[in-house]
């Protein structure tokens, strides 16, 4: 369990936190929870999301459970630095959809003293590391892996099985296109 113990929290030191896991594991819910805690503490914060993620709302980050926070949609990682106004907490949802430049953006924000919180899928529907996520996991001070529940057997799920016929790596969707599966059930169904 993630204990959120940040030894340098009161200082100007920045750091990077990554919340990763499969679809329906609660990544966005955890991101919103951390943002609301920072908001309660009156910390200056900003939330970004990729412009292609318009599943629930075009300008809010919304979890599958319905929790929501206002966000700034951006089309690439460079926009984040352009729009950053010295916020102490910078959150980025659906990090897997960003270009590789997101790594430099996060490092720059942390260097300037921001707490950077990212949430994203660690693997795509084929079980392959997704976009910039492996590199983000490598540079993060704190990593939280969350799990869904396998819809087939009830064990912990770490795979996002695609039920739609599309084969491109990026397919924005929810329960109508994906289901969480454990390793054993994923290997039976997907391969």
Q: How confident is the model at residue 7 (pLDDT cuts 50, 70, 90)?
A: low
State how far the Cα of 190 lies from the Cα of 130, in Å rounded to an integer: 17
Catalytic residues: 94
pLDDT at site 173: 53
Flag the least confident range among 22-26, 82-86, 166-170: 166-170
State how far the Cα of 40 lies from the Cα of 170, in Å rounded to an integer: 35
pLDDT digits (tens, 9 = 90+) for 133-185: 999 999 999 999 999 999 999 999 999 988 767 765 656 555 567 899 999 99
State how far the Cα of 168 lies from the Cα of 187, in Å rounded to an integer: 20
Q: What is the pTM assigned to this prediction?
A: 0.85
Closest-CA residue to 122 (of 25, 8, 15, 33): 25
**Domains, the chain, ranges and CATH?**
15-147 (3.40.50.300)
Q: How far is CA 121 from CA 42, 45, 63, 88, 188, in A?
A: 29, 23, 14, 24, 21
Q: How far is CA 66 from CA 28, 63, 117, in A?
A: 10, 5, 20
What mean pLDDT is predicted for residues 103-127?
A: 96
- The DSSP call for residue 186 is H
């Amino acid at each position: 369990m993630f204990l959120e113990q940040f030894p340098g929290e009161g200082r100007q030191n920045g750091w990077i936190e990554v919340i990763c896991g499969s679809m329906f594991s609660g990544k966005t819910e955890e991101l919103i929870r951390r943002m609301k805690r920072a908001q309660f503490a009156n910390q200056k914060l900003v939330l970004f999301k990729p412009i292609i993620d318009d599943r629930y709302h075009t300008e809010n980050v919304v979890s599958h459970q319905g929790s929501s926070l206002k966000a700034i949609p951006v089309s690439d990682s460079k926009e984040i630095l352009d729009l950053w106004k010295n916020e102490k907490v910078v959150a980025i949802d659906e990090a897997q959809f960003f270009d590789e430049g997101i790594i430099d953006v996060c490092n720059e924000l942390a260097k300037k003293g921001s707490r950077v919180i990212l949430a994203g899928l660690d693997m795509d529907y084929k079980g392959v590391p997704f976009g910039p996520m492996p590199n983000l996991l490598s540079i993060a001070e704190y990593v939280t892996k969350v799990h869904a529940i396998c819809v087939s057997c009830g064990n912990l799920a770490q795979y996002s099985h695609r039920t739609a016929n599309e084969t491109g790596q990026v397919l924005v969707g929810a329960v109508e296109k994906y289901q969480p599966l454990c390793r054993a059930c994923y290997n039976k169904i997907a391969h």
